[in-house]
């Protein structure tokens, strides 16, 4: 069994391996504000490097799906609006 699985068997649900407290699980210590900002910027840049630009065909597919969805929602709202309008016209007319 792995350490985390054995910890869960023993009733420790903290997720920390047995023998270590939850506070010493390797979480970074709070630094000053500038160190935290620099860390944030480095993490943002690392995540932006993972972004993949869609191909032309994928982009056209995404645009088509969005346009079809918007048309379907517009039709639904149009039908509901017509029903509510007709109903209020008959009720209060």
The pLDDT of residue 31 is 74
Query: Of 62 and 13, which is predicted with more confidence?
Result: 62
Query: Of 93 and 27, which is predicted with more confidence?
Result: 93
Chain position carrying tokens 């699985």: 5
Domain residue extents for the chain = 54-93
Give the pLDDT confidence of 45-67 residue by residue, as tens digits: 999 999 999 999 999 999 999 99
Q: Is 14 exposed, middle or buried (0-12, 13-18, 19+ CB in 10 A)?
A: middle
- Phi first, then psi: give them for residue 20, nearest 5 degrees: -120, 145
Decide if pLDDT at 7 tops 70: no
The pLDDT of residue 30 is 74
């Amino acid at each position: 069994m792995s350490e985390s699985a054995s910890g869960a068997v023993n009733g420790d649900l903290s997720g920390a391996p047995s023998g270590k407290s939850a506070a010493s699980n390797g979480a970074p210590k709070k630094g000053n504000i500038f160190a935290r900002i620099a860390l944030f910027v480095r993490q943002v840049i690392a995540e932006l490097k993972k972004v993949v630009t869609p191909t032309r065909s994928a982009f056209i597919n995404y645009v088509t799906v969005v346009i079809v969805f918007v048309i379907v929602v517009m039709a639904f709202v149009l039908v509901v609006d017509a029903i509510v309008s007709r109903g209020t016209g008959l009720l209060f007319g």
